Chains A and B, each alone.
Chain A
Amino acid sequence: DTGVSQNPRHKITKRGQNVTFRCDPISEHNRLYWYRQTLGQGPEFLTYFQNEAQLEKSRLLSDRFSAERPKGSFSTLEIQRTEQGDSAMYLCASSLGGQAQETQYFGPGTRLLVL
Chain B
Amino acid sequence: AQSVTQLGSHVSVSEGALVLLRCNYSSSVPPYLFWYVQYPNQGLQLLLKYTSAATLVKGINGFEAEFKKSETSFHLTKPSAHMSDAAEYFCAVTHPGATNKLIFGTGTLLAVQP
Chain A interface residues (CB < 8 Å from chain B) = 4, 31, 33, 35, 40-45, 48, 55-56, 58, 91, 93, 95, 98-109
Point out the residue from A35, A95, A106, A108 that lies within 8 Å of B41, measured CB to CB: A108
CA–CA, A31 and B107, complex, Å: 25
CA–CA, A91 and B42, complex, Å: 10
Whether A95 and B100, one on each chain, are in contact in the complex, defined by CB atoms closer than 8 angstroms, is yes
Whether A106 and B45, one on each chain, are in contact in the complex, defined by CB atoms closer than 8 angstroms, is yes
Number of residues from B at the complex interface, CB < 8 A: 27
Q: Point out the residues of chain A lying under 8 angstroms from B106, CB to CB.
A: 40-42
Given known contacts A56-B101, A101-B32, A41 and B43 CB-to-CB distance under 8 angstroms: no
Flag the segment in B11-19, B62-70, B75-83, B91-99 that touches A: B91-99
Chain B interface residues (CB < 8 Å from chain A) = 9, 32, 36, 41-46, 49, 51, 90, 92, 94-107
Whether A33 and B101, one on each chain, are in contact in the complex, defined by CB atoms closer than 8 angstroms, is yes
CA–CA, A103 and B104, complex, Å: 14
Whether A100 and B94, one on each chain, are in contact in the complex, defined by CB atoms closer than 8 angstroms, is yes
Whether B43 and A4, one on each chain, are in contact in the complex, defined by CB atoms closer than 8 angstroms, is yes
CA–CA, A107 and B43, complex, Å: 5
Whether A100 and B95, one on each chain, are in contact in the complex, defined by CB atoms closer than 8 angstroms, is yes
Q: How far is the CB of A67 from chain B (nearest CB, A)?
A: 14
Given known contacts A42-B105, A43-B44, A108-B43, A103 and B49 CB-to-CB distance under 8 angstroms: yes
